[in-house]
Amino acid sequence: MATAPVPVQMPSPAPADHTQTERMGLWRWIYDRAGLSALTYPVPAHANTLPYTLGGISFVGFLVLALTGFWLAQFYDPMPDRVRGAVEYIQTQAALGGLVRGIHFWVANIVVVTVVLHLVRVFATASFKRPRELNWLVGVGLLGVTIAFAFTGSVLKWDQEAYEALQHNLEIAEILGGLGTFFSASFTTSVPVLVRLYATHVSLLPLLATLLFIGHFFLIKHHGISPLPAAADRGEAPRGKVPAPQLTARYSTHLRWMFGGGLVLAVVAAGLGLVFPAPLGEAPNPDLEITKPPFFFYWLYWFEDKFGVSAILYAGLAFGAALVLVPFVDRSPWRSLRRRPVVTVLAAAVIVAIVGLSLIVFFSPVVKHLGG
Ligand code: HEM
């Protein structure tokens, strides 16, 4: 007589495994639905090194600035008669105010440094050469936006340094004549300049930055990361592209480095903010001129010292124009620095001059410039 088959009892998974399976399931669900596999495309191994991640770390720094800036905006008031009280309120009473202001201030300063280091890396590896000339120009735009963020931000805290910075803004607007009307106080009598600078800081500049980021990242994806200079000079990277067999790493690893680096940056900024809180000097006194600008403007301060306020404009424009010209001047097919001796010496001279002049200003007393 045939007997019915005995159903096999499958052991039920241990609770820990079960949770893990569910977690994997959730991750898989998100991974599949969000199309995250698109981020695992192959990249060359050198794309996952620190010099090639400085742009990404700068970008994550911008995200931290947007978040902390949003928090600060909950308590900030740009009306001239209330602004001082608002900044003091943020510093002393607002929820997490002092800490968030410290992170915003320090991340902003560090991002200026990482953006400049990124630029130096792109220059040194000749990554602006064909076919990436346009992306270099988008990068120059991003540098301009970064500086504009840093300048308008430094005015918003409305202490003596901020007041003097704003006076420079107004004097340069006057030198520009008709072109400077928008940057002058007379553009409108219904809204104070400080409020207009705040609007620029939280609305126009984030919009410009977003558009430029989209362009920058589209072009990076389109052209792929540039080859290592030595390999390109050996003829191993036709048309400036790393050949497919050498794409041995993954972009998802790059993203991990980028966000990891950004996290380290935020933690370092928080630590710095706790030990050295974001500065807030005395309330502005229009009769005084006793401060120096933020460190990244020191070299311009030296020019102002020697040749007057207009020199800030001319030196700044000359520097910007030189950057714009880079891909059109350095057009040889060579990418290693030693095969580009003329531009290497010129660039080294500019870097030494900027660092040298900044050090001179750092060790010099404050000089009166305005109203001269
Ligand atoms: C807000 C500032 C900037 C951000 C967030 C940013 C972001 C990035 C990122 C994520 C990359 C991919 C590789 C890397 O991280 O090194 C990159 C590449 C590039 N960036 Fe930027 N960048 C900025 C400013 C600049 C500036 C100032 C320049 C030059 C004037 C520039 C020119 C380029 C070029 C040409 C590439 C392609 C490099 C290659 O293929 O090796 N960027 N940028």
128 lines ligand 1 (CB under 6 A): yes
313 lines ligand 1 (CB under 6 A): no
Question: How remote is the CA of residue 228 from the centroid of ligand 1, in Å?
Answer: 15
Question: How remote is the CA of residue 283 from the centroid of ligand 1, in Å?
Answer: 38
Question: How remote is the CA of residue 68 from the centroid of ligand 1, in Å?
Answer: 23
Q: Is residue 263 part of a domain?
A: yes
Q: Is residue 61 part of a domain?
A: yes
Residue with CA nearest ligand 1 atom 42:
139
Instruction: List the CATH number of the domain containing 124.
Output: 1.20.810.10
Q: Is residue 274 part of a domain?
A: yes
251 lines ligand 1 (CB under 6 A): no
Q: Is residue 362 part of a domain?
A: no
Of 173, 171, 178, 157, nearest to 75 by C-alpha is 157
The pLDDT tens digits along the chain (372 residues) read 445 555 555 545 445 556 666 668 899 999 999 999 999 999 999 999 999 999 999 999 999 999 999 999 999 999 999 999 999 999 999 999 999 999 999 999 999 999 999 999 999 999 999 999 999 999 999 999 999 999 999 999 999 999 999 999 999 999 998 899 989 999 999 999 999 999 999 999 999 999 999 999 999 999 999 999 999 999 999 999 999 999 999 999 999 999 999 999 999 999 999 999 999 999 999 888 889 999 999 999 999 999 999 999 999 999 999 999 999 999 999 999 999 999 999 999 999 999 999 999 999 988 777 665
Q: Is residue 65 part of a domain?
A: yes
58 lines ligand 1 (CB under 6 A): yes
Q: Is residue 302 part of a domain?
A: no
User: Which of ligand 1's atoms lies nearest the C-alpha of 220?
Assistant: 37
The residue segments making up the domain with residue 269 are 44-225+238-287
How many domains, in total, are found in the chain?
1
152 lines ligand 1 (CB under 6 A): no
Question: How remote is the CA of residue 16 from the centroid of ligand 1, in Å?
Answer: 44
SS3 of the chain: CCCCCCCCCCCCCCHHHHHHHHHHHHHHHHHHHCCHHHHHCEECHHHHCHHHHHHHHHHHHHHHHHHHHHHHHCCCCCCCCCHHHHHHHHHHCCCCHHHHHHHHHHHHHHHHHHHHHHHHHHHHCCCCCCCCHHHHHHHHHHHHHHHHHHHHHHHHCCCHHHHHHHHHHHHHHHHCHHHHHHHCHHHCCCCCHHHHHHHHHHHHHHHHHHHHHHHHHHHHHHHCCCCCHHHHHCCCCHHHCCCHHHCCEEHHHHHHHHHHHHHHHHHHHHHHHHHCCCCCCCCCCCCCCCCCCCHHHHHHHHHHHHHCCHHHHHHHHHHHHHHHHHHHHCCCCCCCHHHCHHHHHHHHHHHHHHHHHHHHHHHCCCCCCCCC
Considering the entire predicted model, what is its pTM?
Answer: 0.92
Q: Is residue 85 part of a domain?
A: yes
Q: Is residue 59 part of a domain?
A: yes
> What's the half-sphere exposure (Cβ side, CA atoms, 13 Å) at 118?
21
